[in-house]
Structures are given as C-alpha cells and as structure tokens.
Chain A
C-alpha cells in the first residue's frame, strides 16, 4: 500500500498536504482537481522525482526516497501524460523497455522478459500492434502501448498522469475499464489523474481531491457527482 504520513508537497511552499492516507493494492484511485491544484506535483512526489517538504510516503512500508533508484522501477511505474515522440521504435520494443530494470548491462531480453512482453500484449489485446512503429499509432493505441509497458514492468504500484487526456470517448471508456480490471485481477494499486469526472464515476469508486480549506488531500468513496464537483472544483 502507498501510505502518506504528515506529508507536505510542493516546490518551495506547500501546495498540498496529507496528514495520513492509505492507498491499497487492488484498487483504482482517481485524482481530480482544478488545473494547478497540484495533481502532477503529487504524482511526481510519490514517484520520488520531487523531494517532499516534510513527512513521508511509503511503498509497502519502505519510504520512497530510501528505495535505491535501480529498484524503484520494479516497485512503481509511471505513465507520463505525453507519449514520447520518437522514430523507429516498435511497440514491442517500447513495451520491452519496461523490462529494463530486470535486464543485464547490455539490456538483453531473457525468455522470461520476452514472455512478460507477450503477456502484456495479450492482456491489452494489442498483439497486432507489436511490430508497428509507435510514431505511426493513434493516440488510443499509444495509450494502450504505454499501459502495456507498465504491465510488463510488473510493478505493483502504477501512476498515470491524465491517461485519458488525448483520447476520444470510446477510448477513454476502454482505458478506464482496462485499468479497473487490471487493478482487480493483477492486484495493483493504480493512481491516475483525470478531468473526465462522469466517466471516472462510471468505472471507479475511489476519488482523491484537494480540500479547499486546508489544501489537504481527501479520499472520497463512491461520491455523487455533485458532491465530487463541489469538493474538487468549487472555490
């Protein structure tokens, strides 16, 4: 589980805080809030890319910043909002990059690595994209490939920064449904940020919002749309 205790997050001054909160394996958590409310900052802080101002965030009992950089990727994976722009990288090669924490110094894939990649392709039903260059994929396909990489990475904790941002309605639906089922079936803890409140309400039960009074993180379970909008967006 991801555990927050007495955390202050921000660049120089605290953008948001959380006295105590726990995110569990097997569930999807949706982070909602206005632009600039600190969603990306929170994700970066959990991923250990941004030092905390105070307090601690632990992954399965171990503080994130104390986890050696080389081991962190096998615990936690992160999907940034933008799919990287690059030429001549096949989908399967991109997904295989998720195996890099486990490969040797030359990055040689073992049979175990190859079967992980195949399994990820299979889970997302994108075997047909395997040989395509990522630069030629649609936005929806790119997002599926990005998720497949995270699956191949086999980390129990998965962070996604606005995974639905560039997708059309059917693809948003598809991605959210996929993530919910992955969390359940593979026992992952998934935290994603999103602006599509209605859609997320259809698929997920757990919402993280920043309370307006104290800029504290709050966990809402099965909120109504009105309650969610009220607490996340009203001034």
Chain B
C-alpha cells in the first residue's frame, strides 16, 4: 500500500492506494499543526491502516510556507559581498500597494544579522577581488555568537562563478559542522541578486524547521513500524526523499497545490483529455493552473508575500482570493464586489451559524438551494434563513434586487473573477480555452462548472471521483523529480552545439545520480531538455523545448523565432511586417534546463475507482427547491457514489458527495466516464 497525504493548515487528506488489490481509499481529518504526526496517525486509523503495512509514504506539506507567513522560521545570518548586505532589504525598490504610500517591510533576516566580507567577482566570472577568508571566519563567528541556526552566503555574480561561495561554504562547514549553510548559487544559479538571495534566504529560514519536522514525523512513523523513506512533494510536482527535502525545503512552497495538478493531469489523460484548465476552489482561495499536452505548465517563480520572491521552476499556479468563504459587499462606488476578503473558517459564512454576518459565496449557494442544508462537511446543518436575511439586507435592498437575484449576482461576480484568472493563465499566454477541458476540484469548485463552461468557451468540464482530496491523490501517484538550470548568457553564434550538449549532459548526469541515491524503486527515467532564449538586449526570456538527441544551433534559433511569433500573436497577424526586423537580431541563449524524472509506477486510474453497477435512477435521492434560470423548481438530487460508469444525467440537477456538490444547470448534461469522472457538456 502507498499512502498519499496532504497536510494542510485545516485538514489532512489521505489517499491509500493499494496496487495489489487495485483499490484506492480516501479520508479527511482535522490537521494538528502543533504536531502533524498526530493528524497523520489519526488519518491512518480512520482508514484502519497500519503504518507497518505501508510500502511508501509521500506527502505534501505547508511547513515551509507557513513558517514564512507566520514568521516563525529560524534565526539566520547572511554573509554578503562587501557593500551589498542590504540587497535583501532594498528589494527591487517597490511598494506594497500601487496607490497609497503606507506599509513597511521586514526582511526574513534583520540587518544586524547581515554581515559583509571583502570579495568580488565580475559579470564575466573573473575574480576582481579575492575572498578574504579571515573576514569570512570572523563574520561567521559573530553570527554564531548570536546563535543563528543557518547562514546564507550570497555574493554578487556568483551565478557566473560560484568559486567564492563554494569556498566560503566549505570553510564554514568545516568549522561549524552543525550549522546549516546555504550558498545562493547552489539554490539558484541565475542572475538577479535580490531574487537569488531571497530564494536562498527562504531556504535557510525554513531549513531547520523542515529538518526537525521531517525527523520527528519520520521517527514517529518508524516507531510504528514504517521502515521506508518519507517522500516530500515539491512545487514542481515531483517528490524527493527526506535528505533532499532537508537540503532544499524552498522547493516545497507549493507542495500540496502542485500535487493536485499532478493528479489532475494523470486522471484527465486517462480520460483522453490532454489540455486542462484546472481550477481548485476551496474556502478562501482559488488556484488556477494549466496542463498542456499532458504536462503542467511551469513558471519560474512566485512571490510568497510582499518582498519575498522564490525564483525556482515550479508549477504555475495562480492564486486569487476567491472561494466559498469570499465575502460579497457593495463598495463605496455602489458596485458589487466579491472577495478577496474571506470569512475564513471562523466565523465562516452566515449560514454556518457561528456568528458570521457578512454574506459569502457559500451563503449565495445555500440561498439558491444548490447545496444540501443537511450535508455539511464539518457536521451540523446550514441556517439558510439567516443567510437569506443577510443577503437581502446587505446586498439585495441596496442594489434594488430580489434576494434570489442578489444571490445570483454574487455567484456571477465570483465566477467572473474565476474567469479572469482562467483568461490570464490561458488566453494571455496564447492558449485558447476552447482547446481545453475545465478540470474542477476543491470543495467549492464543481458548483461553478456549468457557469464556467458557458463563459470560458471550454468544451468539456471534468469532475474527478474524489475532488476533495486531489492533492493527497497526486502525492500517492507522484514521480521523483529534480530540475537543473544553468546560465549561459551568450550569443548563439558564439557557441558550438557540442558545448550546449555537454552542459545538458552534465545536468542529466547529476539528475541520474540523484535518482540512484533515492531509495525508491523506479520503472524508468525520463529526461526533458529546455532552453531559454531572448533577442539580444531583452531581459525577458522565452522557454522552448529541445530535442532529446542531436541539436543544431540554427535549429534552436528558428524554433525560438517561431515560438516568439506564436506567443505574441503572429497567428493573429499582429506583427504587420515588423517580424522581419526581428530576424536580423542576434539571439542569446540565456539558460539551459534539464528535468530528470524517475517514474515509479504507472497506475490505471480506472482500475482504482469504485464502480457502481446500479442504474442512475437508484442514485436519485429525491428533489428539493433550487433556483434555476430565474425561478424556483423542484430539482432532482443525486448521490455521486450511486452513479455507475456510463450513467447520464441532464440538468438541472444537483449531484452530491461527501466533499463537494456538482450543480448542473439547465444548459448542461453529464456522463460518468470509464475512469469515474463526471464529464460535463453544454447541451
């Protein structure tokens, strides 16, 4: 048995995958942030699983992200090039809000824990001033005396020549073997000193926390008889063992959400859908991501909060404050707004009856009869009448709308924010939503599937069998993965293809070495090569795939040019002849990237999903009043688990399961496919 766990701030989700008996079981228990192993064990107990029976445990964790957001990481020191210790605090010169000059900024390492040493390397990688090792040691002595647990060494231009950083790290580790030492170029070998330093600092700041967490959790599982490595999900959708996770906790900032995307890609692929727009709507936020030709789309980094960027390759997940708990209000200009403020878990929506007074998206759903008032995850029933009153008073009366119309408006505005997010991640990047299936998960997502199908132009909506535990599911099936990037920053015409190939092969060798060290059985190894290029003088780059075998530099140039025109609208005839001017420009190869994936095992999802043989009529639970197309109707409600493969339903209909509700409006129909997914189409 393989255990996939997603340990979030509120819930711990569990998926137990048993390849032998071809079963997959799920569970959801409350998280225990003080000691996550408690929730872990409780989850296993809820499914009657003995840790000793697990062959592998893979988990997603918010330890790293929470340590930053809550500022309870470790005490760190920074050693920088003389003259540059403030890089971390100066950021890139910005402000927290576009308008309004309020707000200040506290870096993760305060100024008195940031010291300088004499050394300098040029942009070309030449040593301008040698590293003064005496200064280095005395700086580190001062930091150690201040009782720092981790030290970041970040020198200017270390991406071009890491020798000084390496030397410094070696000296510090020799002298203080228990100190965590992070060299910036080892975490990220790219230019942009602030982003590189910030990424390394995030790593150091969470490293002791992650290390203690893994030691405790792994030790605990060992005590209970689990004798394998404990794998951790990274933001790139691949997993690593505890040794790697301790070394690079910064790679886990999107641990849980990335696992959800991996599961979505696998599940949909089996149903024959290779292009997905995923939207994961929970209580407070909406995560939107893209899968193209079966592979998640990546970004080169994200800002965890103001002034704390992490610039590592990770699944591109756009987060906005729009979820079931998002609060609807009328702004000073008289316009209805939904989110980003959320009622959160406490007090929660009005209908939870825990003192919430601000109408939320969930209240609007409850008022329109879309969610079952007796079917709530956390137990207890919904106070729909109170939600009606709240919506009428706060929204309906001021807007001159009936309560139902006001509730519908809330849902439409919430959907529009989702659509905006979907557009930004698809159309704005040159993808046409009409070529994509909408993959819906999270507790609040499937209620919007009909609306979003109509509005985005996507042809198909998919709701997986277990939309509420998708991240745990992704963990259970994830592969091992490491990403490598090397900066080249030279004109293509100044390079030979041999040099490029040698660089890529070196990255691949490092990746294969990593996989061999992990104690996980692999069925095969998959390697991806990519290059980032730009026209000379540009600072933004475009990433293109490289062939696995031989390379030709003119071929790379041509592929880049085509990709550039495609990205910025040549297909839309937007260059008006100016593209010929681009052809005259020199092209620079900025970075080479290699992704090495160790494929564990390939599972057929369809074999793992429970299947019911009964006709759809037996899934019919009854009817209840639901607001549909401007009137109250008696709407049929179905139990998801009772729908057999191939079953078809036509809207309006409500489909209920323990972790979400699917709303099919009168313009949609749905069918259960061979993998157990609900496939939703417009009529």
Asked if A pairs with B, the answer is no
